[in-house]
Chain A
């Protein structure tokens, strides 16, 4: 039940885009049509689900103060938490590389549809942000971390597909020239964010 609550919360309330603005760059750049937006959203969700449990293990068994106790008594005092950032980004970059190779081998059609987005995910702040929030929220198990990853990813997917759909519709609208492109996209995202705030306080 707690997992379900976290899942719903991370999709609607703590939405990566509307509450924390993570992954904004690709969100703005790749939301011109629904199909590619959906592909990128899937890729981000997938990477969050893969990397969050990995980073969770890393954090729990290597980085946290006292996490190295399983190596023996003399390691009980070791605190490697200052290495967190660099380890997380290394895990994310290498996982991206591995996933890219695996997808290319086993499902060329998916690989073709994701195209350049897969490698770019290494520098998508939503993924690193997920890892850092996971560290901050202090989850109880790797499963909880995975659920959080899935929820955040789906929330991101929802946001980018919604924005892409709206942008396809407004392509023919009469917008003041200085607002064309980025400006109006910002305003739409802001309004979507206000709409998403109505989910605040949902509890299961």
Chain B
């Protein structure tokens, strides 16, 4: 059940092969939904669900899909799962689904999905594929949460909508950094994370 290889499939994507930092996949949504923590967490969970399930489904069908039409098959499977997640969100957490707007739909074209389906699910049995999906989804969610943490804390002084920077700081002239909530700062925050990550893992640095 948990062999060494499966453990690698689950834990490697968290740091050494992180989908966002190292494989540079799924950047669009990483940056767009991270202005505050709540949508970032919901987005991360949705991606974990869709990624794990689509990995399992494609892995189950891997011997029957003709390779010429595999992209279309993958798109259909992913699109169906995304529609389920989208309807679920609209039903149970309407506010967040409004905040995420089109980005839930854009999970379909999230490169992490196509990347993992092509690279892993097509050649592996369902159980490792499931672990790989969970691992990569978690790796993606971690980055999302880190970026959103700094952007929400510095940009609005809140975390999950609760005020964490005390009022007396504002009384003494502290100001929220409005730039942090604007889109370009997501890129720069992400670049700083990449910087720290690669400084600690020199083998990942580009020549």
Contacts and interface: CB of A to CB of B under 8 A. Distances in A.
B57 interface: no
Interface residues of B, number: 46
A124 B27 CA distance: 12
A85 B83 contact: yes
Contacts of A187: 187-188, 191
A127 B106 CA distance: 10
B206 A182 contact: yes
Interface string B191-206: 1001111110010011
Given A123-B111, A132-B106, A186 B194 contact: yes
B28 A21 contact: yes
Given A24-B27, A180-B205, A186 B102 contact: no
Contacts of A84: 105
B27 A85 contact: no
User: At the interface, is chain B mostly helix, strand, loop or mixed?
Assistant: helix
B169 to A, nearest CB: 26
A136 B97 CA distance: 13
A93 B75 contact: yes
Interface in B86-144: 86-87, 101-102, 105-106, 108-111, 114
A196 to B, nearest CB: 8
Contact of B109 (A124, A136, A181, A197): A124
Contact of A179 (B32, B80, B87, B194): B194
Q: Which of B24, B27, B184 has the most A CB atoms < 10 Å from its CB? A: B184
A90 B79 CA distance: 10
A133 B186 CA distance: 21
Nearest to A84: B105
Contacts of A181: 206
B110 to A, nearest CB: 7
Given A19-B183, A182-B194, A122 B71 contact: yes
B130 to A, nearest CB: 23
A115 interface: no
Contact of A193 (B110, B111, B183): B183
A106 interface: no
Given A179-B191, A187-B187, A125 B80 contact: no
A18 B184 contact: yes
A28 B101 CA distance: 24
A4 interface: no
B25 A25 contact: yes
B69 to A, nearest CB: 10
B102 A129 contact: yes
A93 to B, nearest CB: 6
A194 interface: yes
A183 B198 contact: yes
Given A180-B205, A180-B206, A190-B184, A85 B194 contact: no
Interface in A127-146: 127-129, 132-133, 136
Given A178-B194, A193-B184, 7 more contacts: A20-B183, A21-B31, A28-B27, A85-B108, A86-B80, A183-B195, A186-B191
Q: Give the 4 A-B CB pairs with smallest separation, nearest first.
A: A193-B184, A181-B206, A178-B198, A190-B187
